[in-house]
Structure 1
Amino acid sequence: MPGDMSYTTEEISKLLKISKLTVYDLIKKGELSSYRVGKQMRVDAADLEAYKQRARTKTNANRPDGANQPLRSLPSASINAIRPIVITGHDIGLDILAKHMEKHIAGIRPLRSFVGSLDSLISMYRGESDIVSTHLLDGDTGEYNLPYIRRLLVGSSYIVVNLLSRNAGLYVEQGNPLQLEHWTDLSRQGLRFVNREKGSGARVLLDEQLRLHGINPGQLDGYDNEQTNHLGVASKVASGEADVGVGIEKAASIVGQLDFIPLIRERYDLVMLKSTENQAWIHSVLQILQSMEFKQELQTISGYDLSRTGEILLETLEPSF
């Protein structure tokens, strides 16, 4: 193989005849060396051959007859009997969910992927994630998440369940010296803004509010100044590097030294694809979400509304197999 050849995770999946989730798990555990190019993981041909050689050695060492036969394929069960479950999103509630899943569901290993709401749904469409979190506002209907899910997961069978609700709004300087109170205030001249990245729920919320209130994004000084999480936006405002940003209340309480102006109650939901192999752990996840043990732990975090936690909001028909 040429020394400069490399493969995507999808190509590795096809070459080894294993799922993409298993490829990500091998990378996560350090068994398969990789590097990132933009948003894409790549594996050099030499590293793939090194992994295959180690797998051959391990397989042959375990043969009773010591036969040295070529390794034709690596089914996921032979590499690791534990099924990786990829959970996307940034909220700490997802970390708590992952901990409860690891404790109560045998045969799975939760893996966290820190990507925004829209990118999470796209990753599910591509088969790269198992549980995605989303808080995407549809400005025309005022509905959260379901309009986007229906459009992006056309033809899929899935279940949508509420994790929590929380306040979203504006981060402003402590004492709110500029008296910012509403989305329309973002049209003021001279405001220094800090934004979230494209695909995040906060970015969609901002863009929808700008559209609904007739504000051109080009009017915002700092619209292209992006941070990859709520804490980053809140920190820029707290440090005085920006006058205002959009995010959730929890991040303001963590960062401190700034004020939070609540403007909307957003619903933070989970989406899980229904399939024969997923049904068992999906049922267990629903039991966790609806359990008092899980809700009591979430209740220790200020700013969360758990009145609908565990409620199934939408479930499509069973897939036919």
Structure 2
Amino acid sequence: MATRDALTVEDVAGLLNVSRSGIYALIKNGEIGSYKVGRKIRFTEAHVRDYVTRSGREPRRQEAYGSVALDENKYFDLSTGRRGGEGFVICGQDLILDILSNFMRMHGVTALRAYIGSYDSLVSLYHDKVSVATAHLWDSSSDDYNVPHVRTLLPGIRCTIINVTYRTQGLYVAKGNPKNIQTWSDFARDDIRMINREKGAGSRVLLDENLKLLDLYGSQVAGYDEENQSHLAVASAVGRGEADIAVGTEKIARQVENIDFVPMKRERYDLVVKTERVDTPEIKTLFEILRSAKFQNEFKSIGGYDISDMGKIIHET
């Protein structure tokens, strides 16, 4: 993050992966420092870094990947509601979507980003608050990703599901795995405390589905109700010794010190759009970008992604 002393609410919301209303709540609760210029709220880099240090959050990275600078992203606050002409909104929290959004704008599409989890993404698509949802929701009954949840959360709506990547989900544990954590059943051990993702996040759904298969309840797991809204934050909490275990992706495990990763599940990370909009210029542009060598080359040097099916239609409901 470059040194800046007049960050706006929108800037800080983007850096912390939260909505504008979330930033106002932090100010109200005295959790983040700020100052005013007239009636406008502003932040210094020191305010943000102090909050990051105290909370364990990580600001959004501002460096470039290939030819695409991540600080070009525009953020959309879903709590305000979406109105006509406000752009093409892509939901989800993965780096791929940040770069996709920038490529869309390079192709003349006003693309905005909303950083929310899989469940809320699909619900927002149902209510036409967003243009594209993303999902990595596992269903234990079918051992399939996303399709059963799309059918449930968008009843009667024809949808097209497009693959973005495959990722490995697993367990973040302390370096050296001193408690020998290996399986989902370890969550119920008396000597294990977890930190969880928010309700509706794909990682939390994966955990809940596996607890269900083991006939366990969240109430039997120490730390189950302690939540954070990013893979990086829960991994960092394990690295600092504040928790023994968390669920997340292999890619994030490579970025955090003092943790190891226990692989558990290969997951499919998909985009979901309403089929009636597949022939719109915006969705056609999205397909063109996903299938282009230029876009895919952005990820060939980044570990943790399998892009062999990127841009492939997985299912049409």
Superposition TM-score tier, normalisation by shorter sequence: 0.7 to 0.9
What is the alpha-carbon distance in structure 2 between the residues aligned to residue 139 and residue 298 of structure 1? Answer: 30
What is the alpha-carbon distance in structure 2 between the residues aligned to residue 162 and residue 277 of structure 1? Answer: 15
Residue ranges of structure 1 left out of the alignment (5+ in a row): 1-26, 41-75, 317-321
Aligned partner (choices 80, 84, 89) of residue 86 of structure 1:
89
TM-superposition CA deviations, 1:257-301 (whole Å, max 9, x none): 200101000100001123469622111111111111111102221
TM-superposition CA deviations, 1:105-153 (whole Å, max 9, x none): x2x2111111110010001111100011100000111100000001211
Give the CA deviation at 1:202: 0.8
Return the letter of the residue paired with 2:242. Answer: E
Return the letter of the residue paired with 1:269. Answer: D
Give the CA deviation at 1:36: 3.2
Map 1:108-257 onto structure 2 (within 5 A).
Answer: 108-257=109-258
SS in 2 for 1:101: helix
Q: Which has the larger radius of gyration?
A: 1
- Structure 1 stretches (4+) deviating beyond 6 angstroms? 37-40
Residues 196 and 225, structure 2, Cα contact 8 Å, conserved in 1: yes
SS in 1 for 2:110: strand
SS in 1 for 2:21: strand
Count of aligned residue pairs for this structure pair: 245
Residue 269 of structure 1: aligned partner? 270
TM-superposition CA deviations, 1:231-271 (whole Å, max 9, x none): 01001000000000111111111112200101000100001
What is the alpha-carbon distance in structure 2 between the residues aligned to residue 201 and residue 275 of structure 1? Answer: 26
What is the alpha-carbon distance in structure 1 between the residues aligned to residue 285 and residue 274 of structure 2? Answer: 14
Could you state the TM-score of these two structures normalised by the residue count of structure 2? 0.72
What is the alpha-carbon distance in structure 2 between the residues aligned to residue 229 and residue 35 of structure 1? Answer: 17
Does 1:298 pair with 2:299? Answer: yes
Return the letter of the residue paired with 1:97. Answer: L
RMSD (Å) for aligned C-alpha atoms: 2.5
Give the CA deviation at 1:226: 0.3
Aligned partner (choices 23, 36, 44) of residue 21 of structure 2:
36
Name the CA shift for 1:311/1:174 in 2 (closer, same or farther; >3 Å): same
Residues 278 and 284, structure 2, Cα contact 8 Å, conserved in 1: no
Return the letter of the residue paired with 1:99. Answer: N
Residue 282 of structure 1: aligned partner? 283
What is the alpha-carbon distance in structure 1 between the residues aligned to residue 24 and residue 301 of structure 2? Answer: 35
Residues 291 and 310, structure 2, Cα contact 8 Å, conserved in 1: yes
What is the alpha-carbon distance in structure 2 between the residues aligned to residue 170 and residue 190 of structure 1? Answer: 16
Name the CA shift for 1:223/1:266 in 2 (closer, same or farther; >3 Å): same
Return the letter of the residue paired with 2:161. Answer: V
Identity across the alignment (%): 42
